[in-house]
Amino acid sequence: DVKVTQSSRYLVKRTGEKVFLECVQDMDHENMFWYRQDPGLGLRLIYFSYDVKMKEKGDIPEGYSVSREKKERFSLILESASTNQTSMYLCASSLDPGTNMQYFGPGTRLTVT
Amino acid sequence: RKEVEQDPGPFNVPEGATVAFNCTYSNSASQSFFWYRQDCRKEPKLLMSVYSSGNEDGRFTAQLNRASQYISLLIRDSKLSDSATYLCVVVRRGSYIPTFGRGTSLIVHP
C-alpha cells in the first residue's frame, strides 16, 4: 500500500524557533510537494522537488526552505517561525503529477505561539 | 481571475439526492483534470480523474467541457458518507504543478 508519512501530526513552536517538518514516501516517486492549507484559502504550494537535490519555488516560498538529500525524503524548514505560519502542512508525492495522482501525507498541524 | 474556481458551498442535500458541482479553469492550456475528496481533518485523496470523453465510477460521474473551460462532478443517490470537501485539480500542459481549487463543501443529511 502506498504510504506518505509526516514526522508529526501536531506541533507547537515558539516564534523565532527553527522548525523542521519531514516527509517520507515509500513509492520511489521523483516528485514531492509541500503545501499549506488554511481555511478559505485552500491548498497553496510552498515548494516542490522533481529530483534529489532539485527544488523549485511554489506560490508562497517566503519564510520557508526545503531539502531533498534522498529520493524518499523531503523536508520543509521554517528558518524562524512566525505566527502567520500557523497552518496545516501537507506533503505529497507523485510519479508524474501531470497525469497521475498525488498521494498526500496525513498532515502536520503547526501552531506558532 | 483565479486559475481554478469552485463554489465553496456548502451544498446541503438530503440522502438520495443528486448533486452536481462545477469547477472553472482559466488556462486553456490545461491538460489534466482531477477531483479529490477531503474529509474533515484528513488529507485529500484522489476521487477520480476526468477524461475528455467523461467518465463514471459507480454513483460518481465526471465530465470535461473544454470549450467552456469547466469540469463537473455529479453524485447520484447521495450517502451520508459523501459529506466532504471536493477539490478540483487542474494541471497545465508541460507543468509539474497541479493547481487546486479551494474546494466545494457537501453536507448530506438524513
Tell me: the pLDDT tens digits for A69-107? 999 999 999 999 999 999 999 999 998 767 668 899 999
Q: Is the pLDDT of residue A1 over 80?
A: no
Q: How far is B105 from chain A, CA to nearest CA, in Å?
A: 11
Our CA-based measurement puts residue B107 at a distance from the nearest CA of chain A, in whole angstroms, of: 17
**What pLDDT score was predicted for residue A72?**
96
Q: Residue A42 is nearest to which of B43, B91, B100, comparing CB atoms? A: B100
Q: At A61, is the pLDDT very low, low, confident or very high (cuts 50, 70, 90)?
A: very high
The pLDDT score that the predictor gives to residue B96 is: 73
The residue of chain A with its CA nearest to that of B90 is A98
pLDDT, mean of residues B63-79: 96
Confidence category of residue B1, pLDDT binned at 50, 70, 90: low
With b meaning 16 or more CB within 10 Å and e meaning fewer, what string describes B32-67?
bbbbbbbeeeebbebbbbbeeeeeeeeebbbbbeee
Q: Do B42 and A105 touch (CB under 8 A)?
A: no
